[in-house]
Amino acid sequence: MKKNNFKRLELALYYVVVFFILREWLVPIMELTGTGYTSLILLFIAINLVLNLFKVHYSISWVIKLVYMSWFIVFVYSGQSILSVDGFLFLLDIFKTNSAIIIQSDWVHVTDPFRTLLFFILIWMLIYLIHHWITVRMTIFYFIVLTVFFIATLDTFTEYDGSNAIIKIVLLGLMMTSILFIKRLLSQSNVHIAWFKYIKLVMPIVFLIGLSGIVAILLPKSPPQWPDPVPFIKSAAGQGEEIDNRDGVSKVGYGENDSRLGGSFIADDTVVFLAQAETKQYWRVETKDIYTSKGWEKSDYFVGTASVYLPNEPIYHSLPVGPEEETQSASIQVLYPFEFIIQPYGLKSIEVDGTADGSIELHMDDNSEKLIPKVNNSTITLDNYLVQYSKPVYLYSELKNPTEEMNPFIQERYLQLPETLPSRVRDLAEEIVAGEETPYDKARAIEMYFRQNGFRYSTDNVAVPAEDQDYVDQFLFETKIGYCDNFSTSMVVLLRSIGIPARWVKGFAGGDVINTDGAVKEFQVTNNDAHSWVEAYIPNVGWINFEPTIGFNNTRTINYDVQTNAYQQEELTVDEETEPDETVEEEEEEQQKTTEKNNILSTFVDFIKEHKVVLIFVFIVLVLFAFSLYKLRRKWLPKVYVRMNKQKQFSEASFEAMYLQLLKILELKGFKRLEGQTLQSFAAEVDAYYSTKHMSNITKAYEQFIYAKDLREVDFDEMKESWEYLINQTTS
């Protein structure tokens, strides 16, 4: 009797610990989901534990738990008493509606009361599992590890602060694990000791864990030793944050903050949108006009104004639009939570899929020409829309003969340069454009400058300007290594320094063709395609785009009306090798094809380089997986063997293989037969452990089989039975 009481006391102690650990699970869930009634749910846990503790017959314990659950649901969701007719009807109603919903597999519409019910059942199951772990398996280690992992994850990715919880869990968990370990040792070796001796055994552990815990808490802790991996994981999981970390390596993508440019990038293949259009083109998002010598800011030239357009309404912007008959449409499918519209050159209007969204308004920021979709003045993300556009066509004659006077407002706004800009930048600009007459030719000269004078495109090892250094100056004269931001910013600054108004444009490059359906191609645009380029203002003509970055091509359509006099339209690329009167796009594709063929190896190397982190991660995961498979082989390998041999019949042919396999499984189980140990003595050991005779029986027959080559008297059915018995023993 006394012994029983002691056992119950012991179990009660475990349950108290378990209760506190479960509480650490529950609290963050409640906190993060904003669920109330934590104490009532804790009470449910306590009831469960107490019922388990006193081994209440399950018919009674089920009734108690079900009644509590029903009471909780009725009390919380209707405020009525469960005993009242209304309360009962409420409960009935929940079951009726939800069973219908579940039959239809319409999981989204399952009501909260029913979810609560499921949550209770989950707790119930969890407690049963813990009960099993404690009383039968006598190990709680996995549960503790899982709890630590759970709290660590919540702490890392949510606002929940688990620093206190983790201490409690580790201390309680370690104590629990070690006490259960003692218990397991005692029960395995069939030792029963008096309760005071047990206490004597447990006390040092509790004391040690407590002491080391206190020491650990009090010790000073060093700051994190490696960079926070959370942003990377988040962005890999599709929750990217804006890039504003310019000190180290950033990840490529569309960011809002450009006030400090520079630094290296890691490639990122996340697809951000798909566009179905006839031609490859740049996608514009916004422009910026104030150069700060470190990066770009948006000016407040138009204070607080935004032009509001409805879908399908013509949209006005500063860029020229092509002829009406050339109007095309592109359908955009956005896969990333962008809060802006992606605009092609020559934008006319936006068509939003789905007629129900009549309340959508498109707000255009007049300063940056960023187009933001809003409903009731709150920004939304549009997943699908159609853009109508007609590519602007520039007349060569007008480009060459600027007659119009420069607009003073444009001059005021787009010739801004920081006072600290070193004079050698201006001198360089003068030098580049020497001999060029028209603004267009000057701009062309600057655009081409980067391709000839030792500049290199790279996303690695890109410098960040020092405190007293100018971003453009550093790139033009010192590093000459950079990516689109370096080239485009430098070109804008060079243009401005010789009096040509220019602005910095952000958006996406054309992307890759992944599908072709007749004339329409589907372009896949990834974070890697995030890009910046230049728009310059040419009198008479207006804004025209330039692409200074090495390795990028942007088409602008120029009508060479001077040379041919006919209305012949050709496209000019900024690529200098390209002849103006050839069909550029075709050649471009051809070029791409040949380079692709030539560079399969280098693409492969690039692929490996680009995805180094991911590949290493995958490799580590694979290695860990393989290692744990190997470590846990005694758990799964016997099952594989059994599965393999379940169908096999015992016969003379298979006997040897089956027996040897049995030896292998036993070895995995810990029965290692030394090479010098005879099968008979080994079998005796195994039989002694499992207190059977099966191993000796099967071994006797096997010995006869190999040492006497005689199987006449062997009963194979009996052998199979013994074999299966032993396998079951080892795998159970």
Partner 1 sequence: MHKQIEGIIENIEKVMIGKREVAELSVVALLSGGHVLLEDVPGVGKTMMVRALAKSVSAEFKRIQFTPDLLPSDVLGVSIYNPKTLQFEFRPGPIVGNIILADEINRTSPKTQSALLESMEESSVTVDGETLQIPKPFFVMATQNPIEYEGTYPLPEAQLDRFLLKIKMGYPTAQEEIEVLRRAEKTEPITQLSPVISIEELIELQEEVLNVYVDDSIKSYIVQLARATRKVSEIYLGVSPRASIALMKACQAYAKMKDRDFVKPDDVQYLAPYVFGHRIILKPEARYEGVTVEGIVDRILSNAVIPIKRYAEK
**Least Cβ distance, residue 713 to partner 1 (angstroms):** 12
**Least Cβ distance, residue 705 to partner 1 (angstroms):** 8
**Least Cβ distance, residue 693 to partner 1 (angstroms):** 17
3-state secondary structure of 382: coil
Q: How many helices (H) and strands (E) does the chain have?
A: 24, 24
Q: Which residues contact 370 (CB under 8 A, 6 or more apart)?
A: 285, 286, 340, 364
**Least Cβ distance, residue 674 to partner 1 (angstroms):** 7
Answer whether 73's CB lies under 8 Å from 119's CB.
no
Identity of the residue, 161 or 652, whose beta carbon is nearer to partner 1 in the bound complex: 652
b/e sequence 541-574, b meaning 16+ C-beta within 10 Å: bbbbbbbbbeebbbbbbbbbbeeeeeeebbbbbb
* CB atoms closer than 10 angstroms to residue 515: 11
Identity of the residue, 432 or 683, whose beta carbon is nearer to partner 1 in the bound complex: 683
Identity of the residue, 126 or 684, whose beta carbon is nearer to partner 1 in the bound complex: 684
Identity of the residue, 416 or 704, whose beta carbon is nearer to partner 1 in the bound complex: 704
**Least Cβ distance, residue 666 to partner 1 (angstroms):** 13
How many residues are given for the chain?
732
Identity of the residue, 316 or 671, whose beta carbon is nearer to partner 1 in the bound complex: 671
Helix (H) or strand (E) holding 353: none
**Least Cβ distance, residue 679 to partner 1 (angstroms):** 6
> How is residue 375 written in tokens?
């409903």
Identity of the residue, 2 or 712, whose beta carbon is nearer to partner 1 in the bound complex: 712
DSSP 422: -
Identity of the residue, 133 or 655, whose beta carbon is nearer to partner 1 in the bound complex: 655
Identity of the residue, 187 or 651, whose beta carbon is nearer to partner 1 in the bound complex: 651
Residue 271 sits at φ, ψ, to 5 deg, of: -75, 130
502-508 and 283-288 beta bridge pairing: antiparallel
Identity of the residue, 340 or 659, whose beta carbon is nearer to partner 1 in the bound complex: 659
Burial of 455 (0-12, 13-18, 19+ CB in 10 A): buried
Beta bridge mates, 502:
536
**Least Cβ distance, residue 653 to partner 1 (angstroms):** 11
Sign of CA dihedral 195, 200, 206, 210: positive
Identity of the residue, 309 or 655, whose beta carbon is nearer to partner 1 in the bound complex: 655
**Least Cβ distance, residue 703 to partner 1 (angstroms):** 6
**Least Cβ distance, residue 650 to partner 1 (angstroms):** 16
Answer whether 341's CB lies under 8 Å from 333's CB.
no
Q: Amino acid identity, residue 539?
A: P
Q: Amino acid identity, residue 468?
A: D
Q: CA dist 132 to 10, 135, 137, Å? A: 15, 5, 7
**Least Cβ distance, residue 660 to partner 1 (angstroms):** 7
**Least Cβ distance, residue 707 to partner 1 (angstroms):** 5
Q: Which residues contact 119 (CB under 8 A, 6 or more apart)?
A: none
**Least Cβ distance, residue 702 to partner 1 (angstroms):** 8
**Least Cβ distance, residue 608 to partner 1 (angstroms):** 47
Q: Which residues contact 385 (CB under 8 A, 6 or more apart)?
A: 311, 331, 332, 341, 350, 351, 352, 353
Q: Which residues contact 45 (CB under 8 A, 6 or more apart)?
A: 19, 22, 23, 26, 123, 127
Beta bridge mates, 256:
none
Identity of the residue, 427 or 710, whose beta carbon is nearer to partner 1 in the bound complex: 710
Identity of the residue, 436 or 685, whose beta carbon is nearer to partner 1 in the bound complex: 685
**Least Cβ distance, residue 675 to partner 1 (angstroms):** 5
Identity of the residue, 680 or 728, whose beta carbon is nearer to partner 1 in the bound complex: 680
**Least Cβ distance, residue 638 to partner 1 (angstroms):** 19
CA dist 287 and 489 (Å) reads 12
b/e sequence 30-42, b meaning 16+ C-beta within 10 Å: beeeeeeeeeebb
DSSP 617: H
| CA 154 remoteness from chain centre | 16
CA dist 314 and 613 (Å) reads 46
What residue ranges bind partner 1 (CB under 8 A)? 656, 660, 663, 674-681, 703-710
**Least Cβ distance, residue 667 to partner 1 (angstroms):** 12
Identity of the residue, 405 or 675, whose beta carbon is nearer to partner 1 in the bound complex: 675
Identity of the residue, 299 or 681, whose beta carbon is nearer to partner 1 in the bound complex: 681
**Least Cβ distance, residue 634 to partner 1 (angstroms):** 21
Identity of the residue, 629 or 660, whose beta carbon is nearer to partner 1 in the bound complex: 660
H-only helix segments in 360-462 = 396-400, 408-414, 423-433, 439-449
Q: Which of 603, 599, 592 is nearest to 512 (CA)?
A: 592
CA dist 183 and 632 (Å) reads 24
DSSP 582: S
Identity of the residue, 544 or 683, whose beta carbon is nearer to partner 1 in the bound complex: 683
First vs last Cα of the chain: how many Å apart?
Answer: 32
Q: CA dist 75 to 27, 384, 408, 543, Å? A: 21, 44, 72, 67
CA dist 45 and 51 (Å) reads 10
